[in-house]
Chain A
Amino acid sequence: MAFEVVADSLGAQAKDSSKTVANIAVRRRRETIFKICGLLATSFGLITLALLLIDLAAAGFPRLSWDFFTNFPSRRASQAGILSAWVGSLLVILTTASIGVPLGVGAGIYLEEYGRRNWLTSIIEINITNLAGVPSIVFGLLALGLFVYGLGTGRSIFTAGLTLALLILPIIVVATREAIRAVPAALREAAYGIGCTKWQVTRDHVLPASLPGILTGVIIGISRALGETAPLITIGALTFIAFLPDSPISSEFPFVSFSWLFDGFTVLPIQAFNWISRPGSDFHANAAAAGIVLLAITLGLNAIAIYARYKLRKKLQW
């Protein structure tokens, strides 16, 4: 019986072959329509971005010179430079990374490898996910209340670093956990199988294997921190600054100094914001040039990240 039914339907299909052909034509047409829609959507984004970049480059490129990097801001647009801004950015990011990366990676490892599945870790997990969605201005307000007034860390690089570290913490934690989770169970078993302790497994096998993924998360976080303006303005970053923080290297023992941590500062996006809010196209050109520098640093960091990840992955190869 069943065979007959199958045979019947086969026969019916054969009979309706003209219908099938028509059906295929309809499906092909739909495919083409969707392809075109997708292409339009993609090119809209790309073209807009390209136009923006071209506009930025056209406006800012003429201002890029050695002086631009070595001059302090000035009332005269042609003499104004970004020295204090890029040094500030660099120091803030350094502080952010040195606080955010160990905390984020550490928390990620703990949650993934050591944390037992219970209500506490569940709450922590939910919180971390939520933290990633908190608007950055809220971080600024938190930092102002907690660090600047509460702990008295002042409107300093340290406060800025701390704030941005908090901001990027969820990104790093989530990336670390994802990367650790992607390590094959077989590798862990192999390590446990020859008698590794949990820490040996983590340090010698899991971390090296998940490093590319963690690195990606770190870079994404740092790129984000580099472009942040709102929380820094909230904690009171200066917009016009004509001095450098203390040098981290000193001539006396122990040759490194951390007094710069508590100096006032500005950063590239704030500097650019400052210039763009002034009247006069000269300052607007300065803002565009600062924008180019910021973009270059961000892209550069991404390039390094991609290269490092590629190298590390090649070394791992399973």
Chain B
Amino acid sequence: MTAMSSVSIKTTIAAKPEFKFGKNKVSANNVNVFYGDKHALKDVTVNIPEKAVMAFIGPSGCGKSTFLRCLNRMNDTIPIAKVTGKVEIDNQDIYDKALDVVQLRARVGMVFQKPNPFPKSIYENIAYGPKIHGLAASKSDLNEIVEASLKKAGLWDEVKDRLSDSGTGLSGGQQQRLCIARAIAVSPEIILMDEPCSALDPIATARIEELIDELRENFTIVIVTHSMQQAARVSQRTAFFHLGVLVEEGTTDTIFTNPNDSRTQDYITGRFG
């Protein structure tokens, strides 16, 4: 009797193509926000990689929107808000006294929960930003910026024949894409989105999500969303906030299949929140 010795054949299996994160675009260190006596955000420390989508999830009032608004100093417009800690974009402290907040907001665009186009024409909606920042040297420059921005926002074909119509006459989804185009028009590096799809129907939502996926190539995107599925679909990294604390941050795959913290697990599986 002979038994053939087993032949071991080494096969190398190609590793799953994982998303490669670039360098950190934003890094926040021990950020605290107070609204009067209310301690709304507690010691948040997180890095946001460039050219990727980062999602902030968590129950209402958990501080995710508050933190988002720290990144373009939108909290400055609220008189009782006080921010401590350090937020750096490209290693530059954005709360530095020498930094011009107007300049910052040109670098960090924002899209809001409810579509809020200016009550002006579609053209003016896009052209206004480049105009106030002096980005267009001539009328034809401006036309180019408007067209390019609308194209990037996937709205050009729908509105090119009615640029002088009011922006508020568009459908909800179109209005939101107009707002995204308006943000793109001033060539920001980062786009903040505060629940951009919460007022939209599923088809319009799908369009925005598709758009976010495309924009990821050129922009760093931070999105606050109440829809866990949306966070799972569009983002590469996810951070979970609860009661003003950043509970857990990691790759989206990990957060949604195997989160570390039991609070994250309970929230995303619908056990509290």
Q: How far is the CB of B176 from chain A (nearest CB, A)?
A: 12
The answer to whether A204 touches B128, judged by C-beta atoms less than 8 angstroms apart, is yes
- Interface flags for B155-167 (1: CB within 8 Å of A; 0: not) read 0000000000010
Contact between A205 and B103 (Cβ–Cβ < 8 Å)? no
Q: Which of B102, B112, B168 is the one whose CB lies under 8 Å from A195? A: B102
Do residues A315 and B119 form an inter-chain contact, with CB atoms below 8 A?
yes
Chain B neighbourhood of A192, CB < 8 A: 74, 77, 105
Docked-complex contact B169 and A200, CB < 8 angstroms: no
Q: Which residue of B79, B119, B186 contacts A194 across the interface (Cβ within 8 Å)?
A: B186
Bound Cα distance A102, B114 (Å): 34
What 0/1 pattern do residues 176 to 205 of B give for CB contact below 8 A with A? 000100110110000000000000000000
A311 contacts the other chain (CB 8 A): no
Q: How far is the CA of A195 from the CA of B186 in the complex (A)?
A: 9
Q: Mark A294-318, 1 if CB is under 8 A from B, else 0.
A: 0000000000000000000001111
Instruction: Determine the distance from Cα of A195 to Cα of B110 in the docked complex, in whole angstroms.
Output: 10
> Given A116-B79, A204-B128, A317-B169, does the pair A194, B105 have CB atoms closer than 8 Å?
yes
Q: Which of A48-56, A93-101, A182-190, A265-273 contacts B (4 or more CB under 8 A)?
A: A182-190
* A209 contacts chain B at the CB level, 8 A cutoff: yes
Interface flag for A11 (CB, 8 Å): no
Residues of chain A lying within 8 A (CB to CB) of residue B58 = none
Contact B118 A190 (CB under 8 A): yes
* Chain A 164-206 per-residue mask, 1 if CB under 8 angstroms from chain B, else 0: 0000000000000000000010111111111111001000110
Q: Is the CB of A318 within 8 A of B119?
A: yes
Q: Mark B126-168, 1 if CB is under 8 A from A, else 0.
A: 0011001100000000000000000000000000000000101
Q: Could you tell me if B116 and A189 are in contact, using CB atoms closer than 8 angstroms? A: yes
Query: Is the C-beta of A117 less than 8 angstroms from some C-beta in chain B?
Result: yes
Known: A193-B74, A317-B166. A186 touches B114 (CB 8 A): yes
A193 lies within 8 A of B102 (CB): no
Q: How many residues of B contact A (CB 8 A)?
A: 30
Cα–Cα, bound, A200→B129 (Å)? 11
A184 proximity list for chain B (CB < 8 A): 116
Q: A317-B119, A317-B169 are in contact. Are A197 and B102 (CB under 8 A)?
A: yes
- Which residues of chain B have C-beta atoms less than 8 A from A205's C-beta? 118
Are A193 and B168 neighbours in the complex by a CB distance under 8 Å?
no
Q: Is the CB of A194 within 8 A of B116?
A: no
Residues of A within 8 A of B166 (CB): 317
The one of A116, A195, A196, A318 in contact with B103, judged by C-beta atoms closer than 8 angstroms, is A195
C-alpha gap A195/B166 in the complex (Å): 22
Q: Which residues does chain A contribute within 8 Å of B179, judged by CB atoms?
A: 190
CB distance from B237 to the nearest CB of A (A): 23
In whole angstroms, how far apart are the Cα atoms of A145 and B166 in the complex?
Answer: 53
* CB contact between A318 and one of B102, B104, B128, B168 (< 8 Å): that residue: B168
Contact of B112 among A189, A315, A318 (CB under 8 A): A189
Shortest distance from the beta carbon of B99 to any chain A beta carbon, whole Å:
13
| Interface contacts beyond A195-B103, A195-B132: sample of 13 additional A-B pairs, CB < 8 Å, sorted by A | A186-B112, A189-B74, A189-B110, A189-B112, A189-B116, A190-B179, A191-B118, A193-B111, A194-B110, A194-B132, A194-B183, A195-B104, A205-B118
A194 touches B72 (CB 8 A): no
Which residues from B are CB-within-8-Å of A187? 116, 118-119
